[in-house]
Amino acid sequence: MRGLLASVIAAVIVPACLAGCGSTPTVSYPRYQFACCDAFNPQQIWHPGQTLTLSWTSASAVQTSTAQGETVTLTATLSGPYPDADTLKSGVSATRTLKATPITANDSQPGTFTSSIALPADLPAGFYNLSTANTYASGETSGATVIQVG
């Protein structure tokens, strides 16, 4: 009886162990998301001649089985002036638009990046919309804040 029980156990357990030992391990690769402006103070009043410096940081978001990452373009745009924040938010078109040089990154590589927007000496005072975007082939995420130039 013991011999039969040992044979049954061996017939069930040994193939199960061998099947588990022969499987290919799953490899995963991190993908990063980029966020802008954590240290930026939107309450600061900016002046013509200054430079807005915006810091982009990366954070691991997901794991994927694909080794090749996706290209992401990081952009920042300043548009205005508006007499007040309510007018800015109403959708009225801006008369001035300033853009930072776009930054190209890859979501498989972490990193920090800096965007800069030089405020011209003749920039009119008022409220401006500072918008940022992460543009991937698969879509875009964006954000915006109101700043004041005095």
φ/ψ bin of 10: left (φ > 0), alpha (ψ from -120 to 50), beta (otherwise):
alpha
Residues 130, 78 contacting (CB under 8 angstroms): yes
Checking if the pLDDT of 11 tops 60, the result is no
**Alpha-helical segments (H) within the chain:** 2-21, 85-89
- Name the CATH code of domain 2-149 (choices 3.40.190.10, 3.40.50.880, 2.60.40.3880, 1.10.420.10): 2.60.40.3880
- Position with higher pLDDT, 5 vs 41: 41
d(CA 118, CA 45): 15
Closest CA to 81 of 23, 32, 140, 122: 122
Average pLDDT over residues 28-44: 89
80, β-bridge pairs = 96
Is residue 28 very low, low, confident or very high in pLDDT (cuts 50, 70, 90)? confident
Domain boundaries, given as residue ranges, for the chain: 2-149
Which of 12-46 are b and which e, b meaning 16 or more Cβ less than 10 Å from the residue's Cβ?
eeeeeeeeeeeeeeeeeeebbebebbeebeeeeeb
Average pLDDT over residues 105-128: 95
Q: What is the pLDDT of residues 38-71, one digit of tens each?
A: 888 989 999 999 999 999 999 887 888 887 889 9
d(CA 125, CA 83): 9
